[in-house]
Structure 1
Amino acid sequence: MTISSEEDRRRALIDAIPQADESTPLAAQLAEDARRRITLSGQRFPAPEQTRVFTIANQKGGVGKTTTSVNLAAALATAGLQVLVIDNDPQGNASTALDIDHPSGTPSTYDVLINDAPMAEVVQRHEHIDNLHVVPSTIDLSGAEIELVSLVARENRLRNALAEYLRHRSRMGEPRLDYVFIDCPPSLGLLTVNAFVAAREVLIPIQTEYYALEGLSQLLNNIALIQAHLNPALHVSTIILTMYDGRTNLARQVVEEVREHFPGETLHATIPRSVRISEAPGHGQTVLTYDPGSTGALAYLEAAREICRRSHPRTPAGGAPHPTEGEAHE
């Protein structure tokens, strides 16, 4: 089947779905899910021109940071892209959600940062999602903040390790990574600083509830400091609204407020408050594998597609490419 005929078939199926409005919210949600399912089913997302490295950050806890990291990564990987998740949080929740073994002593982010272990010796492949690779975290990482203080180039250790790993993949003839997501602890210590220095883009999940923007100005100030002193390429490229419940006035007001302040960065796709999203990590899965047809899975697929379709990262003022991205082409 040609691309045009496939698009015509999708359009005909979407047109056949009955219209529903907010007077029947359940019917409206079911119709919207059906349209998204038809639109997104089996789609391959376009690869970026160069490796895009994201740090997922928010100093406020409980906003869906790790959930967003693993589900966006899974969505992009299931759409045919090469994706790496670096679990840079001592809690290891991203490793748990991706069903990656990470007991104490497992080669992990800790070994990369503290013991100079090559990232290639630490990366694990996801068992059920092709193209998804993971650098796990272990409880050993909880002491890394203190150990990093005395090390040379302590802020650049993750950046240098990632750059070498991208070169290693190129030397070995392995496919270039399209996306890297670094999951951080909810604090600004040396672990988070390493993530900011290693990345070019910051993705901020914002919960659509009370005090949604609490602490955001401090986070933006910290990003500006990193940009000024350690990584001029760093910028906030993406904001994603999580735990959205369109039935409440508060959630709609928060969405309007965030989009008013950050019109260019905020994704159109929103992530709903979802039982399926919450249940999935307890089964060692992302929502994409736990319930691929659910509203939550479709929302993350839609968000991932939107990220792919957005313009590529800006070149920093000096005109030089970010080291990890430039070296991806070697």
Structure 2
Amino acid sequence: MGRIICISNQKGGVGKTTTAINLAASLASAERRTLLVDMDPQGNAGSGLGLKRENLTGTVYDALLGGRPASELVHPTELRFLQVIPATPDLTGAEVELVNQERREFRLREALLPLKDKYDYIIIDCPPSLGLLTLNALVTADSVLIPLQCEYYALEGLSQLTHTIDLVKQGLNPSLKMEGILLTMFDARANIAHQVVDEVRGYFKDQVFQAVVPRNVRLSECPSFGKPIILYDIKSKGCESYLALGRELMRRDSPKPSKRRVA
């Protein structure tokens, strides 16, 4: 069975979708079968991988409220091992439509369960809110990865997100874990960026990934070309950081060597 990781932070502009796209692409480049699920009505995860809205044969909305199997909604990308279930602005209405539905928090989980053994990783890109769409992602996921920008207000709202995660663990998804905090938008020239890194690492310790994503022009350019950074500029600092993140994640999942003594 594959692992489901949701990328969540209710603050906008923290590099959430950039992380979802480029982490998924990094895992796929290592020949890990990867599915990216876009739960953000902006639909940037799909467009950032080159999907055109007019060519879509189905979206995550159809899985949540249309009754279509998720296997019919999967779209290929330029990377052989990476596929995506896209979203469109139609998903905005799902927040309202889900309110009166039975098992409304479990819609995404029930949709993705048949696909879990077909992928090594399923990455879910959440919207910048803590509504029903994000709740569905948290109920579905095995773990949560939180992008945190290296700026003054970095920790603002983080306690609210961790509180929500705790509530989900208590009532809807007891096995949900914290995958880790990813520091993003790091500017080595700014003292505040170094202060934020030190503060976050000091407080959260080993819950913080070693990989740090810098502010990088190439990272901000590649979505307009519909490519992940690994296909746009593999030599850029942004690409190096997401490849490092992918390797760090895969090392965590590698089988631990046996400590049993050989006779």
Q: TM-score, normalised by structure 2?
A: 0.93
**In the TM superposition, what whole-angstrom CA distance separates every residue of 1:208-263 from its partner, at most 9, and x where no partner exists?**
01110000000000111111110001121211100111222111110111111111
1:135 is aligned, of 63, 85, 90, to 85
The answer (yes or no) to whether the contact 1:118–1:165 under 8 Å persists in 2 is no
2:38 is aligned, of 60, 78, 87, to 87
1:114 is aligned, of 42, 65, 85, to 65
Aligned to 1:296: 238
Q: TM-score, normalised by structure 1?
A: 0.75
1:1-330 mapped onto 2 (5 Å cutoff):
50-103=1-54, 106-126=57-77, 128-166=78-116, 176-310=118-252
Measured in 2, the distance between the counterparts of 1:250 and 1:123 equals 42
**In the TM superposition, what whole-angstrom CA distance separates every residue of 1:20-76 from its partner, at most 9, and x where no partner exists?**
xxxxxxxxxxxxxxxxxxxxxxxxxxxxxx411111000111000000000000011
Measured in 2, the distance between the counterparts of 1:94 and 1:87 equals 6
The answer (yes or no) to whether the contact 2:2–2:116 under 8 Å persists in 1 is no
CA distance 1:81–1:105, change in 2 (3 Å): closer
How many pairs were matched up? 255
1:105 positional shift: 7.3
The answer (yes or no) to whether the contact 1:105–1:140 under 8 Å persists in 2 is no
Measured in 1, the distance between the counterparts of 2:189 and 2:252 equals 29
Larger radius of gyration: 1
Over the residues paired in the alignment, what is the CA RMSD in angstroms? 1.5
Measured in 2, the distance between the counterparts of 1:238 and 1:52 equals 14
1:166 positional shift: 3.1
Measured in 2, the distance between the counterparts of 1:292 and 1:104 equals 28
Amino acid of the residue matched to residue 222 of structure 2?
A
1:311 positional shift: 5.0
Measured in 2, the distance between the counterparts of 1:181 and 1:86 equals 6
The answer (yes or no) to whether the contact 1:106–1:138 under 8 Å persists in 2 is no
Q: Secondary structure at 1:188's aligned position in 2?
A: coil
Measured in 1, the distance between the counterparts of 2:7 and 2:171 equals 20
Q: Percent identity?
A: 51
